[in-house]
């Protein structure tokens, strides 16, 4: 059975992020951390593969110091061990830097037969990590999977694309990215949460990855982040009589030239 | 063809960079079409391989050969996969699903969506840079005065991946992106048969049906082609009538450029009302038949 590694990101929960009305900037002060939604599916898929075929799965994460908050959560979801890189570079890291760091870590702790990622992170949703990792590691990638199985050395999957599905398979090491519909991530049981504290975690220092300084310099930088606020008329019809509301709506539609 | 739409920003960027446009296509017809739209040099990548993603390495080779400053790829799922692969091989930055693009201060400056639609940002990428662009962000430009050259190059595709069965969705003949009016249904409808209320209204309004992710992907009441949202279609109709749909950011990002948005929902505090021009607080089972009847008059 394949030796699996799942990569995950510790993100801010976008549901907790508020838009400040005065300047449309984002207020993330109340935002709690979470393992990115699609990464939870990746962790779950790896856990399911291991439960079916045996073996074990490792987890790997790269983030700022806050990444330490994720370790127990990740371990309670199936992985036997989690490797973590906590570095200030993660604050401004773009997809290129992230892939450089993860690939270097994988070269250090691997090799792995199957590397799993979510289709994108729930915050930035760049959707680049899996394909970048594959390019850097010199192995194929199968992205946007709705189904995955690993029988011996062969990884078979069904990709769900805009125009339909396609079945693909690879013999040998491969990177995959999974869709949220591939599975329903478990809610860890008390036993799994308690078991997590007994599982090992290992810090990897950026300095030990053999990266060049330019590998940690982002090529893409974000600025002018503004909350998107709709400027709409917000005309509300709340009469107790549905017929009255409908009449008013009809008038509104007519005034817009829609009917 | 999505690549035709990409010619529009490409022609703008060409003016800023004063560099020729090379277009890469997987069919000779597409290469000719792109040359006709203004690509200085169009290349048909010919291979026996059928797996589109398997062309990524060949595409990178052509990009290197052209010494491209900017690479534009259609933001389909395959496109994003190939784009990220190529970006990694180029050791370049990439902006995903750029909505606007220009060159400023020697960088590619793009705007894009963050946090599932909650925010927008500007993203600056040093050159050379890769950008993906979603369908219908741009319209294709008119035919060029002088078409570019067309060349055929034989390439190898990735032999490590075996392509098995391909199952197309089946052309339902549905393209909600061209509809002038849409009625979007959410899970306020209790069962599939109840969608008839929306269909009756659609008939009177001459509208098409659209839906939320849950209706298409979880309930399977409507085909995926009708699903509007961050992972579905983006639409800009004159009228977007959301019925029994809560209006979360992941859905609204797909319809927020609609000219007029109307909502019908029992929950006065549903986020859809903040995004609507007109909102009816009420039960769709009562409101829809009344609205259909009123519009028939």
CA angle B71, B77, B81 (to 5 degrees): 55
A4-216 has which fold?
A: Rossmann fold (3.40.50)
Predicted local distance difference test score (pLDDT) of residue B85: 98
Q: Where residue A223 falls among pLDDT bands split at 50, 70, 90?
A: confident
DSSP state of B255: T
Q: What is the percent of chain B with per-residue pLDDT over 70, rounded to a whole number?
A: 99
Q: Which residues of A touch B217 (CB under 8 A)?
A: 181
Predicted local distance difference test score (pLDDT) of residue A1: 66
Whether B158 and chain A come into contact, CB under 8 Å, resolves to yes
Out of B77, B121, B126, name the one closest to residue A222 (CB).
Answer: B121
The verdict on domain B176-296 having CATH code 3.30.390.50 is no
Distance CA A248, CA A238 (A): 10
Q: Which residues of A touch B168 (CB under 8 A)?
A: 163-164
- Phi and psi for A205 in degrees, rounded to 5? -85, 140
CATH superfamily of B2-154: HUPs (3.40.50.620)
Q: Compute chain A's Rg from CA coordinates.
A: 22
Residues 1-40 of B with CB under 8 A from A: none
Q: What is the mean pLDDT of residues A209-235?
A: 93
- The neighbouring-strand residues paired with B112 are B121
Same fold, B2-154 and B176-296: yes
Distance CA B182, CA B177 (A): 9
- Phi and psi for A257 in degrees, rounded to 5? 75, 25
- Tell me: pLDDT of B145 over 70: yes
Q: What is the pLDDT of residues A119-177, one digit of tens each?
A: 999 888 899 999 999 999 999 999 999 999 988 789 999 999 988 999 999 998 999 99
Report the gap between the CA of A35 and the closest CA in chain B (Å). Answer: 14
Of A202, A145, A150, which is closest to residue A172 (Cα–Cα)? A150
Q: What is the percent of chain A with per-residue pLDDT over 90, rounded to a whole number?
A: 82
Q: Where residue B49 falls among pLDDT bands split at 50, 70, 90?
A: very high
Is this prediction's ipTM beyond 0.90? Answer: yes
Distance CA B129, CA B55 (A): 19
Domain spans in chain B, listed from the N-terminal domain onward = 2-154, 176-296
Of A125, A123, A139, A94, which is closest to residue B92 (Cα–Cα)? A94
Q: What is the mean pLDDT of residues B122-138?
A: 95
């Amino acid at each position: 059975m394949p030796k699996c590694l799942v990569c995950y990101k510790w993100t801010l929960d976008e549901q907790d992020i508020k838009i400040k009305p005065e300047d449309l900037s984002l207020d993330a002060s109340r935002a709690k951390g979470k393992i990115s939604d699609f990464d939870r599916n990746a962790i779950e898929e790896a856990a399911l593969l291991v439960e079916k075929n045996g073996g074990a799965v490792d987890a790997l994460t790269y983030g700022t110091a806050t990444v330490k908050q994720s370790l127990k959560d990740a371990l309670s979801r199936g992985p036997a061990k989690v490797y973590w890189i906590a570095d200030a570079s993660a604050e401004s890291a773009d997809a290129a830097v992230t892939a450089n760091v993860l690939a270097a870590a994988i070269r250090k702790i691997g090799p792995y037969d199957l590397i799993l990622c979510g289709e994108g992170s729930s915050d930035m949703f760049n959707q680049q990590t899996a394909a970048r990792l594959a390019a850097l590691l010199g192995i194929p990638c199968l992205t946007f999977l709705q189904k995955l199985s690993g029988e011996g050395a062969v990884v078979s999957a069904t990709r769900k694309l805009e125009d339909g599905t396609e079945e693909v398979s690879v013999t040998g090491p491969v990177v995959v990215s999974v869709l949220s519909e591939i599975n329903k991530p478990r809610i860890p049981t008390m036993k799994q949460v308690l078991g997590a504290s007994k599982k090992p975690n290992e810090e990897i220092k950026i300095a030990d990855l053999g990266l060049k300084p330019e590998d940690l310099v982002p090529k893409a930088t974000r600025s002018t982040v503004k909350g998107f606020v709709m400027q709409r008329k917000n005309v509300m019809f709340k009469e107790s009589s549905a017929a009255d509301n409908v009449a008013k709506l009809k008038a509104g539609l007519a005034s817009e030239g829609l009917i | 063809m999505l690549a035709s739409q990409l010619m529009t920003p490409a022609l703008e960027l060409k003016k800023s960079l004063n560099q020729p446009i090379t277009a890469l296509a997987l069919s000779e017809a597409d290469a000719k079409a792109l040359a006709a739209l203004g690509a200085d040099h169009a290349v048909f990548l010919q291979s026996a391989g059928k797996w589109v993603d398997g062309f990524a390495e060949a595409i990178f080779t052509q990009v290197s050969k052209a010494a491209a400053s900017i690479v534009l790829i259609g933001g389909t799922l395959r496109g994003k996969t190939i784009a990220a692969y190529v970006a990694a091989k180029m050791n370049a930055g990439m902006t995903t699903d750029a909505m606007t693009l220009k060159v400023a201060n020697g960088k590619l400056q793009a705007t894009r969506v963050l946090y599932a639609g909650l925010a927008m940002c500007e993203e600056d990428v040093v050159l050379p840079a890769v950008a993906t662009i979603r369908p219908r962000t741009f319209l294709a430009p008119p035919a060029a005065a002088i078409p570019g050259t067309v060349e055929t190059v034989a390439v190898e595709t990735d032999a490590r991946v075996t392509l098995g069965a391909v199952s197309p969705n089946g052309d339902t003949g549905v393209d909600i992106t061209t509809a002038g009016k849409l009625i979007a249904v959410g899970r306020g409808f209790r069962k599939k048969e109840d969608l008839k209320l929306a269909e009756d209204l659609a008939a009177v309004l001459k509208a098409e049906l659209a839906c939320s992710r849950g209706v298409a992907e979880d309930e399977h009441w409507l085909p995926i082609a009708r699903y509007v949202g961050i992972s579905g279609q983006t639409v800009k109709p004159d009228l977007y009538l959301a019925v029994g749909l809560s209006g979360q950011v992941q859905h609204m990002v797909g319809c927020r450029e609609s000219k007029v948005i109307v909502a019908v929902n029992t929950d006065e505090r549903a986020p859809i009302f903040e995004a609507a021009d007109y909102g009816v607080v009420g039960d769709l089972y009562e409101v829809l038949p009344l609205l259909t009847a009123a519009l028939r008059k």
